[in-house]
Amino acid sequence: MATSVGRMQEKEPQFFAKLGHTTVHEGELARHSVYTRFLHWAYGIFFFLALFTGFATYMPFLFRWFAPAFGGPATTRMLHPWFGLGFVFFFGLQAINWWGPMKWTDTDSRWIKHLPEFLRSTQALEPEDVGMYNGGQKLQFWEIVVGSIVYLITGIVMWAGARTFGATSVAISYILHDISALIMLFGIFFHLYQATFGQPGTIQAMTRGTVSEAWAWTHAPAWFRQMTGRDPRQALEQERQRRIARERAIEQLARGGPAGPPGGGRA
Amino acid sequence: MTERRTLQTEQISGHPGPVPGMGMQRNLEVCKLIDATTCIGCKACEVACVEWNDLPFQPTTFDNTYQTMPETNWNYWNLIKFREHQREDGTLMWLMRKDQCMHCADPGCLAACPADGAIVKYANGIVDFHQENCIGCEFCVSGCPFNIPKFNPATKKVYKCTLCSDRVGQGLEPACIKACPTGCLHFGTKEDMKMLAETRAKQLRDVSGFKDAGVYDPESIGGTHVIYVLHDAKNPELYSGLPKDPSIPFAYKAWKSIFKPLGLIGATLGFVGVVFHYVFEGPKREQPEVPPPKPEPPAGRKEL
Ligand code: HEM
């Protein structure tokens, strides 16, 4: 990289390019544009608003205490469909935005087959052919696409109510809406975990918009190759050698000896 | 004496734990008996209902029959449904059926309702809506087998016949009963009304030639606290769609009481799963890890 700090060239609506930018520091790669990040947090917020208002009505027995925060049970019920619409709207835009990179490939099918191995921490690196998103991320994306469609249709049926769509369609929608919410909630726990504690260094992809090169060659090797033109495994090995050399140099310095050979610094 | 115990609350929608004060008094169920065979469709009950409950005027719809409007409304809880029925011999019969809340022993509206205390069932069998607790979700509308609860878009609340719980609580009969000029409406204990109804049905069978006459008190929802005497109890649908075997949708019975809690536990397993993953497997860090491993390439880590 010529300069240590770069601006990402983003293909996104003019407005968002002006609204913010993505600063790429040395050793980092640009991952998500301002527009992508805006959409993600927009539907992220609406998701939780819809979740909490929804659960106050789903099972008041356990979740009645959410309702006061939204102005009482009746207001909670009144707001929920609007939060839901907000979620579906922004996620819909994101789905269009991500339709290309989320296309399902053989790599993803293979990834899903090997899922149990990836769950073990003995597997430090993603397979070399994993690109921008791995099979698990894509699976979750498509689950949310399908789930959102189910939400939208069944939600409108329940919103307009039995007086418009009849008692049976409301009763069926009630069940499907619940199932969609339960599956999505189940999945979101994994998403939150992977974005934060599970894979440290991931959340900055959605905040500042960048990830470190080390993150990329570890978690998305094929995407690393595509972005830098370098081989992810070689890059990792170089970095490892650099650190070993650096460690030796430090140890020698500590023993009062001469500094190690040149090349201990970043290539 | 009985009036005070009749308004003991027996079931409360969306309410955790037992109902306060339950089981302290003798249970006495009330019942309204509608003898459809002696109703002349005069609509005195409709007017009495609107008057007593102080309901705002609802414009009527004239459709060339003796029916005031197509169905009950949020401000019109009692409606004589009219149907002209042609018998096998070609002669005509006017079937009048007073349509209102049936006050089911197993109320579908109450099962469907997610709001604490919006729908209650009293120990005397009356099912009552408490609009101050109603959240306007209208699930009761889809839970009701009789299409009774009606939504008011202005207040976003649902309304229906109360069986004049306010009058019954004071030892009075419901307003419709008081207004009925033919005596086709009766009010009393469920036991008494059932007996009266059976006697009348037997009379219809033995004396009046209606061999299928009988009492409508559907078993499928545990019976109702409004019962009918019909000329033809085998075909209640003839009376403007009175369902033969009314039932409550699966969504508000097994789904709501069993699968919803189970589903929630299932979804929470996602949370349990990630916590255990962190504890047992730990995070996946960027490679090579910081602090750097010992000079020798790290062991124990397998790469694909
Ligand atoms: C506070 C909560 C959340 C955090 C911290 C978070 C974090 C992140 C991060 C860091 C990424 C980028 C991953 C990458 O670049 O590989 C991401 C992507 C994504 N987020 Fe979130 N997110 C949150 C909530 C949500 C919610 C509520 C949804 C939708 C219901 C959602 C849906 C997605 C999807 C579909 C992707 C792309 C695919 C993937 O990485 O799984 N996120 N999120």
Q: Are residues B238 and B181 in the same domain?
A: yes
Asked if A174 lies within 8 A of B255 by C-beta distance, the reply is: yes
Q: For position B54, which CATH number holds?
A: 3.30.70.20
Q: pLDDT > 90: what percent of chain A? A: 78
- Interface probe for B, chosen from A61, A188, A204, A233 (most Cβ of B below 10 Å), is A61
- Compare CB distances from A199 to B14, B142, B283 and report the shortest one's residue: B283
Same domain, residue pair B194 and B76: yes
Output the pLDDT for position A6: 65
pLDDT for res B300 = 57
More confident residue, B15 or A215: A215
Give the amino acid at B133: N
Say what the pLDDT of residue B258 is: 94
Confidence at residue B25, expressed as pLDDT on a 0 to 100 scale: 58
Which tops the pLDDT comparison, B135 or A16?
Answer: B135
Q: How many angstroms separate the CA of residue A80 from the nearest CA in chain B?
A: 11
Give CA–CA dist A101/B51, Å, rounded: 66
Looking at the domain assignment, is residue B301 inside a domain? no
A123 confidence band (pLDDT: 50, 70, 90): confident
Q: What ipTM does the predicted assembly reach?
A: 0.87
pLDDT in tens, chain B (304 residues): 344 555 778 788 888 777 877 766 556 899 999 999 999 999 999 999 999 999 998 899 999 999 999 999 999 999 999 999 999 999 999 999 999 999 999 999 999 999 999 999 998 999 999 999 999 999 999 999 999 999 999 999 999 999 999 999 888 999 999 999 999 999 999 999 999 999 999 999 999 999 999 999 999 999 999 999 999 999 999 999 999 999 999 999 999 999 999 999 999 999 999 999 999 999 999 988 755 445 555 555 555 5
> Has residue B297 been placed in a domain?
no
**Residues 6 or more apart from A48 whose CB is under 8 A from it?**
none
User: Do residues B175 and B276 both lie within one domain?
Assistant: no
Same domain for B60 and B124, yes or no, is yes
pLDDT at residue A187 above 90?
Answer: yes
B293 within some domain:
no
Sign of CA dihedral A185, A191, A195, A200: positive
Whether residues B153 and B258 fall in one domain: no
Same domain? For B262 and B240 the reply is no
Q: Which atom of ligand 1 is nearest to the CA of A144?
A: 30
Rounded Cα–Cα distance for residues A64 and A59 (Å): 8
Task: Kindly report, residue by residue over A138-147, the tens digit of the pLDDT.
Answer: 999 999 999 9
Asked if A25 is an interface residue toward chain B (Cβ–Cβ < 8 A), one would say: no
- The answer to whether residues B95 and B215 touch, using CB atoms and an 8 Å cutoff, is no
Same domain, yes or no: B112 and B260:
no
B120 and B269 housed in the same domain:
no
Distance CA A229, CA B98 (A): 81
Same domain flag for B195 and B276? no
- Partners of B76 in beta bridges: B73
Q: How many angstroms does the Cα of residue B290 sit away from the middle of ligand 1?
A: 25
Whether B36 is covered by a domain: the verdict is yes
Q: Is the same domain home to B193 and B239?
A: yes
* Ordered alpha helix ranges (H), chain B: 2-6, 44-52, 108-112, 139-143, 165-168, 175-179, 190-206, 254, 260-280
Residue B206 lies in domain: 9-247
What is the C-alpha separation between B125 and B221, in angstroms, rounded?
13
Task: Indicate the number of domains in chain B.
Answer: 2
- Does residue B216 form part of some domain? yes
Q: What's the A202 CA to ligand 1 centre distance in angstroms? A: 10
Interface touch A244/B156, C-beta < 8 Å: no
For the entire predicted model, the pTM comes to: 0.88
Cβ distance A218 to B114 less than 8 Å, yes or no, reads no
For residue B141, give the nearest of A61, A120, A161 by CB distance: A161
**B193 and B260 belong to one structural domain:** no
Within a domain: B127: yes
Residue B107 lies in a domain: yes
Domain stops at, among B222, B247, B272: B247
For residues B117 and B255, state if they share a domain.
no
Answer yes or no: is B291 within a domain: no
